[in-house]
Amino acid sequence: MTRHAHRLIPWQRRTLYASGALLIATGVVWLAVHYSLGSGSGPDALPHPLEAWAMRLHGLAAYAGLFALGVIAAGHVPQGWRLSARHRWSHQRSSGLMLCSLGAAMALTGYLLYYFAPESIRPALGWAHASVGLITALLLLGHRRGA
């Protein structure tokens, strides 16, 4: 029996995984440092230098990640949509649609964190952004494995 597969072009898969891994690593480092040693550890606490470096790298990875999502939106999504009808991959359709929405949610909450978040809601927005990011990564693992 033929095993149908809908693979990503290797450089696109590598860009997606590398940017995703760097986003998670820098986000988790920021949370750990901010709330233990840095400006989130007490009312008079000062920012730790690692916080700024984690966010500089996080921003770099975010641009690369959005580029990867754009590439995937142009090729993989429409092709996968058509293929999944033919091969009854309904699991990939629903998880793929979720991945598209969560990708948009990450871009929107990231934008709000950078440009708008007032101090009163910033911590909650940061936690929400990071939690959705981790859920997106888990969903991607399930989507990838196939139905």
Where along the sequence are the contacts to ligand HEM (CB under 6 A)? 5-8, 13, 16, 23-24, 27-28, 30-31, 55, 58-59, 62, 65-66, 72, 76-77, 80-81, 83-84, 89, 92-93, 96-97, 99-100, 103, 106-107, 110, 113-114, 122-123, 126, 129-130, 133-134, 140, 143-144, 146
Nearest distance, CB of residue 36 and ligand HEM, angstroms: 13
Tokens of 94: 């629903």
46 — alpha (psi -120 to 50), left (phi > 0) or beta? Answer: beta
Nearest approach, Cβ of residue 111 and ligand HEM (Å): 6
Which of residues 11 and 114 has its CB atom nearest to ligand HEM in the complex? 114
Shortest spacing between CB 52 and ligand HEM, in angstroms: 8
Question: In this complex, which beta carbon is closest to ligand HEM, that of residue 48 or of residue 143?
Answer: 143
Nearest distance from C-beta of residue 44 to ligand HEM, angstroms: 19
Return the half-sphere exposure (C-beta side, CA atoms, 13 A cut-off) of residue 134.
Answer: 9
Count Cβ neighbours within 10 Å for each residue of 11-40 and write b for 16 or more, e otherwise. ebeebbeebbebbbebbebbbebbeeebeb
Question: Residue 137 and residue 123: Cα distance in Å, rounded?
Answer: 21
What does the DSSP 8-state code read for residue 89?
A: -
Give the other-Cβ count within 10 Å of 48's Cβ.
Answer: 18
CB of 64 to ligand HEM, least distance (A): 9
